[in-house]
Chains A and B, each alone.
Chain A
Amino acid sequence: MRWGLRLFEGFGLGFLLAFLQSLVSPATEPFRTGVNWFDGWILGVNEPSISNRLYRVSVLILAATWVRALFNYLTQVYTELTQQKLVDRLRKRIFEQLQAVNLSFFSKTNAGELINILTSEIGRLQAAFGLLAYIITKGLTLAVYLVLMFQLSWQLSLISVVFFTLLAVGLSNLNARVREASFEVSVAGGKFTARAMELISGIRTIQAFATQDFERRRFYRASSGVLDASMKAVRGWAIVRPMAEGLATTVLIAMIIIALTLFVSRGTMQIASLLTFLFILFRLVPAVHEINGNRALLNTAWGAFDNIRELLRTDNKPYLPDGDIPFSGLQRAIALESVDFGYDPDLPVLHNITLTINCGEMTALVGASGAGKTTLVDLIPRFFDPTEGRILIDGIDLRNFQINSLRRKLAVVSQDTFIFNASIRDNIAYGTENADQSDISEAARLANALDFILEMPEGFETQLGDRGVRLSGGQRQRIAIARALLKDPEILILDEATSALDSISERLIQESLEKLANGRTVIAIAHRLSTIVRANKVVVLEHGRIVEQGPYQELLEQQGKLWNYHQIQYELSQNR
């Protein structure tokens, strides 16, 4: 006992033993730790008055309680700080992962599931670490209790350890079931988020097709899926604590009976020691309950651990290796040499593409939907790498250039322009650091956007809402063109930039595109042939292969594929 109290010199439970001894057996020799100054000054063993010794020890117990309260507070503060820092780092790591992976990853992964991981699953993981911290804290307390118990009675302590180990083993089966159920909660959560996202982003289509009932059924099913999976997990972990409590109380009663009959009645244990032992055991049992309950609850977060770990894995995701050479600008030409590409390696989209795009010229890609036009232009900014063949810029393989330096010299204007939920100014200046107001206004003017911007209530400061809901399709396109103009790219990719617009918007945008294209290398995917009459080269694609290429007029004169497209569009315009 003395060794134990020297280890935890003067601390709470040791004081309690001194207190109980003074109270229960005042006539016996006062309790000593063996450290003279401590016994004399702190415990007051030389104090003749028993009541004075009691007061002294009472004050010490109170002091220990308050210091423990302070330490508990600090534990909570630093535990929360650690959790928050962990979550912050994980969020940032997921961001870096999402930035680093190849775009093909996103075509195979559900956006709703990714958002679910970044929000709900991270939240579950944070809660799980809270529980883990609690288990560690309580575990430390248990370790201290155990040391003290062994000092008081190693026999009783051994019996306790055996009983509680059996209890823990029994409960671990229940915990395993809870862990399995937690994976189902994660899967159901991901499905629900995906469904909710589709509902919100596709609300116009849903209403236009009057499919509210169909969507209601799907949404309700997803929501019920979360409910069912959660309840399965809850039923699992909720049973752990009451089971643990019932069993532990049974063990406790058994311990008291054993102690009284085997040790106290035979005089091998003092009543003060037994009281202290039981006091510790009474504090230990709820701690064991809490640990078991929290272990079960922790298991409900196992699915979140699994999802986050899987997302952060790098060995099963596609990455684009970055090059070393900074891209300083296009001098001569972009050359595609026998390029093949497929999003799925077994299903090629582009076959044997050999093409030269000269610097300062306009190259137009023409073809039916699904011919591979967008896929081909996506290879230039290295959204994807060819599966076969190579792309050279001024004779250097595209893969040798630093991706960011390449993309900084390049702009893409597509029919599906992304507008950020920010002001018009921020949307135009997106990607161009240090742009001043005069540059932004000039870009807007050249893009034929200045008039409608100035008519808006707050001009350039007008907030555009999610995906630019406050703008028409033509206005969104002009913002995108202004953004590209401000970036002043050397290579410009126009991916059917006017195809979804009415004729007035198209005329305005065609004008601004011509200003944008002036003096740059342009690769244009054309829906309407009228927009590419001035192209230096036209490339006709069919089923992922180049079937014709050459100057516009020459191809028309050959009366081949381009001529066919030309005839179809001419007939359509005559029929209107």
Chain B
Amino acid sequence: MRLKFPAFIYQTLGVTCFWQHNAVILREFKHFPLAAMLAIAFALGAAVI
């Protein structure tokens, strides 16, 4: 499953040095967005509780 994120997400990420240097690696995350988003969602859940 591939996911297209809204442009502002790319723009926001694009200004970070980490993204600029490693976009070629980081773009791979869009090939498995569900696992990545669930990881973040559960992390957020654990943080809020």
Q: Taking beta carbons and an 8 Å cutoff, which residues of A are in contact with B?
A: 8, 11-12, 64, 67-68, 71-72, 74-75, 78-79, 81-82, 85-86, 89-90, 93, 125, 133, 136-137, 140-141, 143-144, 305, 308-309, 312-313
B residues within 8 A CB of A125?
25
- Chain B 30-46, CB-CB to A under 8 Å as 1, else 0, gives 01100110111011111
Contact A68 B35 (CB under 8 A): no
Give residues of chain B (13-49) contacting chain A, Cβ–Cβ below 8 Å. 21-22, 24-25, 28-29, 31-32, 35-36, 38-40, 42-49
Contact A137 B47 (CB under 8 A): yes
Q: Would you give 30 A-B contacts (Cβ < 8 Å), ordered by A? A: A11-B48, A11-B49, A12-B49, A68-B46, A71-B43, A71-B49, A75-B43, A78-B36, A78-B38, A78-B42, A79-B39, A81-B39, A86-B25, A86-B32, A89-B32, A125-B25, A133-B39, A133-B43, A137-B43, A137-B46, A140-B43, A140-B47, A141-B46, A305-B22, A305-B25, A308-B25, A309-B21, A309-B22, A309-B25, A312-B24
A141 to B49, alpha carbons, bound, how many Å?
Answer: 9
Q: Would you give the shortest CB distance from A378 to chain B, in whole angstroms?
A: 31
Q: Would you give the shortest CB distance from A133 to chain B, in whole angstroms?
A: 7
Contact A85 B21 (CB under 8 A): no
Q: Would you give the shortest CB distance from B11 to chain A, in whole angstroms?
A: 19
A79 to B43, alpha carbons, bound, how many Å?
Answer: 9
Contact B39 A305 (CB under 8 A): no
Contact B48 A144 (CB under 8 A): yes
Q: A78-B35, A78-B39, A78-B42 are in contact. Are A68 and B24 (CB under 8 A)?
A: no
A residues within 8 A CB of B36?
78, 82
| Total A-B contacts with CB atoms under 8 angstroms apart | 77
Q: Would you give the shortest CB distance from B5 to chain A, in whole angstroms?
A: 16
A118 to B17, alpha carbons, bound, how many Å?
Answer: 25
Closest to B36 in A: A82
Q: Would you give the shortest CB distance from A35 to chain B, in whole angstroms?
A: 16
Q: A68-B46, A140-B44, A143-B47 are in contact. Are A75 and B39 (CB under 8 A)?
A: yes
Contact of A89 among B28, B39, B43, B48 (CB under 8 A): B28
Q: Would you give the shortest CB distance from B27 to chain A, in whole angstroms?
A: 10
Contact B32 A305 (CB under 8 A): no
Contact of A85 among B35, B46, B47 (CB under 8 A): B35
Q: Would you give the shortest CB distance from A57 to chain B, in whole angstroms?
A: 15
A residues within 8 A CB of B25?
86, 90, 125, 305, 308-309, 312
A89 to B29, alpha carbons, bound, how many Å?
Answer: 9
Contact of A72 among B21, B32, B46 (CB under 8 A): B46
Contact of B46 among A8, A71, A81, A309 (CB under 8 A): A71
Contact A85 B42 (CB under 8 A): no
Residue among B32, B39, B44 with the highest chain A CB neighbour number at 10 A = B39
A residues within 8 A CB of B32?
81-82, 85-86, 89
A74 to B44, alpha carbons, bound, how many Å?
Answer: 11
A72 to B40, alpha carbons, bound, how many Å?
Answer: 11
A residues within 8 A CB of B31?
85, 89
- Other 18 A-B pairs with CB < 8 A, given A89-B32, A309-B24: A11-B49, A12-B49, A75-B39, A75-B42, A75-B43, A78-B36, A78-B39, A78-B42, A79-B43, A82-B35, A86-B32, A90-B28, A93-B28, A133-B39, A137-B47, A140-B44, A309-B25, A312-B25
Q: Would you give the shortest CB distance from B31 to chain A, in whole angstroms?
A: 6
Contact B24 A136 (CB under 8 A): no
Q: Would you give the shortest CB distance from A28 to chain B, in whole angstroms?
A: 26
Contact A71 B21 (CB under 8 A): no
B residues within 8 A CB of A68?
46, 49
B residues within 8 A CB of A140?
40, 43-44, 47
B residues within 8 A CB of A75?
39, 42-43, 46
Contact A81 B43 (CB under 8 A): no
B residues within 8 A CB of A78?
35-36, 38-39, 42
A143 to B40, alpha carbons, bound, how many Å?
Answer: 14
Contact B39 A82 (CB under 8 A): yes
A143 to B43, alpha carbons, bound, how many Å?
Answer: 12
B residues within 8 A CB of A136?
40, 43
Closest to A298 in B: B18
Q: A71-B49, A75-B39, A133-B39 are in contact. Are A82 and B29 (CB under 8 A)?
A: yes
Q: Would you give the shortest CB distance from A83 to chain B, in whole angstroms?
A: 9
Residue among B31, B38, B48 with the highest chain A CB neighbour number at 10 A = B48
A93 to B37, alpha carbons, bound, how many Å?
Answer: 23
A130 to B43, alpha carbons, bound, how many Å?
Answer: 13
Contact of A305 among B21, B29, B42, B45 (CB under 8 A): B21
Contact A71 B29 (CB under 8 A): no
A residues within 8 A CB of B22?
305, 309
Q: Would you give the shortest CB distance from B42 to chain A, in whole angstroms?
A: 4
Q: Please give me the 6 A-B residue pairs with the lowest Cβ-Cβ distance, nearest first.
A: A78-B39, A71-B46, A141-B47, A137-B43, A75-B42, A140-B47
Closest to B32 in A: A85
A residues within 8 A CB of B39?
75, 78-79, 81-82, 133
Closest to B33 in A: A82
